[in-house]
A and B are shown apart, each in its own frame.
Chain A
Amino acid sequence: MLYAILCYDHEDVVWSWSKEKEAAVTADLGAVQTRLAEAGRLGPVARLLPTTAATTVRKSREQLVIDGPFAETKEQLLGFYVVDCTDLEQAIETAKELARANEGEGSYEIRPLALYKPAPGPFQ
């Protein structure tokens, strides 16, 4: 079974880390990632830019584009894509394409990635 592990924390605190703190955390997490990779258990790893960089596309209401992150609490995170786009405009078009293929009440939140590490190899 593949599992997604989603990371939650106060972004204001995390994005104010000093360079030393940042380096220490990156090193500690890197050690765990290396162990997972060696065991053939690691898929892609991504870090998102802060929510201030987010844009949301509503599936309903003529695919309204809203600045900021997805803010409703009555819906749940169901999945995600990582897509290579030339710019935000193309990312929005891609989200709208997905919305047309799967009409409903939900939203697609578009978050640029701060970091992306592809899977080191196939799962074992």
Chain B
Amino acid sequence: MSDLAWIDAALTAARPQALGALLRYFRDLDSAEEAFQDACLRALRTWPDKGPPRDPAAWLIMVGRNAGIDQTRRRARQTPLPDEELISDLDDAEAAAAERMDGADYRDDVLRLLFICCHPDLPATQQIAVALRIVSGLSVKQIARAFLVGESAMEQRITRAKARIAGAGVPFEPPGPVERAERLAAVATMIYLVFNEGYSSIDNAAPDRAPLSDEAIRLARLLLRLFPAEPELMGLAALMLLQHARTPARFDAAGAVVLLKDQDRRLWNPRMIAEGLALVDKAMRHRRPGPYQVQAAIAALHARAARPQDTDWAQIDRLYATLERLRPSPVVTLNRAVAVSKVAGAAAALALVEPLEDRLGGYFYFFGLKGALLDQLGRVEEARACFDRAIALAHTPAEAAHIRMHLDRLAPPPPEISDCPLPGR
């Protein structure tokens, strides 16, 4: 790897730790980002000659903190009334910092940095955008491209979100166990949002979003290294790895969706699957099931099946039943219906699906599945109506094309029906 590429990768890897620590010292996101930026510039100047430091994050924190203090002092000299109190605070922080370079305290720094992006007042897309900017360090341009909006619009959105975060006050006191668990849960949700933002739209419409899934996995691995005994974090990382492993097989050359059962399993990424399965294995030992672990266990059963007909649908049905208890949602029941259709047939699945229509009447997958079940039961006209509604609700051309394929596969309407004059005509 060239020097610059290596430095770039090392800076990206060290960013959450370094920025998280600088945020703790300066207690202000803008100052921390500025200090981190200074430290990165210095790294680019000195690392190529002197070689990279043994611990890039520690180096960046030290250099960033000194740069930040210089900045504050310069500003203090320029203003008529120097803020002595602020400077002495920083000196205290410096002394404390020297003792803290062993990394044990990083975990709450990184968690805090991620947690402030999960502000409940921010809509999900803004949480994602601001996390990608602050924690991952993606450029505004990259983020704008991922969200298919203009750069200045995204700049404004991120600036507003950051102002909101600053206004809310960043929690600096070390979290207690309950609070830490709450922060971890909020952060896990946000990381999964980032993942899905990339995963749900990897198609011809938005190729620039694909890296978001990789980034989410990177953040989950980072958290897992800091909190190695959290089974839900293992589950989250495993779930994303097992889903992402299938990405090369999810779309055909024309960009159309390829369903799980039709995917060429040789295209699945074997290393991501190996890592995902290892993490599921690790999580299970804790016997503390949670939603991410159960979803990962379901993904693991798909990953373990060499052929679609080898899938253990009975176990998947049981796992979805567990998930329904842990996190009741009509979408979970809808997914369970797929497993039920394999184990107990389309009629049993349809009985599970039909009561969901009130709540999922605007959901593409609901009509896609209901149509497929009706089709299996030979109720072709009702299936056709469902597929028509699914097309109307499709978000991407790939989704619509997939349903159209189902429609084309339906038996043609019998002539006596199609020849009938429609009522009222």
Task: Please determine whether B228 and A12 come into contact, CB atoms closer than 8 angstroms.
Answer: no
Whether A88 touches B10, Cβ cut-off 8 Å, given contacts A52-B224, A68-B229, A114-B275, is no
Task: Please determine whether A88 and B13 come into contact, CB atoms closer than 8 angstroms.
Answer: no
CA A12 to CA B228, docked complex, whole Å: 15
CA A10 to CA B214, docked complex, whole Å: 17
Q: How many residues of B contact A (CB 8 A)?
A: 24
Task: Please determine whether A53 and B279 come into contact, CB atoms closer than 8 angstroms.
Answer: yes
Task: Please determine whether A49 and B278 come into contact, CB atoms closer than 8 angstroms.
Answer: yes
* Residue A67 at the chain B interface, CB threshold 8 Å: yes
Whether A10 touches B282, Cβ cut-off 8 Å, given contacts A52-B224, A52-B237, A68-B229, is no
Whether A52 touches B274, Cβ cut-off 8 Å, given contacts A68-B229, A88-B282, is no
* Residue A32 at the chain B interface, CB threshold 8 Å: no
By a CB distance below 8 angstroms, the chain B residues around A67 are 228-229, 282
Q: Could you tell me the distance in whole angstroms from the C-beta of B146 to the nearest C-beta in chain A?
A: 17
Task: Please determine whether B13 and A10 come into contact, CB atoms closer than 8 angstroms.
Answer: yes
* Residue A20 at the chain B interface, CB threshold 8 Å: no
Whether A87 touches B271, Cβ cut-off 8 Å, given contacts A51-B225, A52-B221, is no
Task: Please determine whether B228 and A50 come into contact, CB atoms closer than 8 angstroms.
Answer: no
By a CB distance below 8 angstroms, the chain B residues around A88 are 278, 281-282, 285
Interface residues in chain B, defined as those with a beta carbon under 8 Å from any beta carbon in chain A: 1, 6, 9-10, 12-13, 214, 218, 221-222, 224-225, 228-229, 234, 237, 271, 274-275, 278-279, 281-282, 285
Interface residues in chain A, defined as those with a beta carbon under 8 Å from any beta carbon in chain B: 10, 12-13, 15-16, 21, 49-53, 55, 65-68, 87-89, 112-115
* 9 tightest Cβ-Cβ pairs between the two chains A and B: A68-B228, A53-B278, A88-B281, A12-B13, A112-B278, A67-B229, A67-B228, A13-B9, A52-B224
For the complex with contacts A16-B218, A50-B275, A52-B221, 14 further pairs of A-B residues with Cβ separation under 8 Å are A12-B13, A13-B10, A16-B12, A16-B13, A49-B274, A51-B225, A52-B225, A52-B275, A52-B279, A53-B278, A53-B279, A66-B229, A88-B278, A112-B274
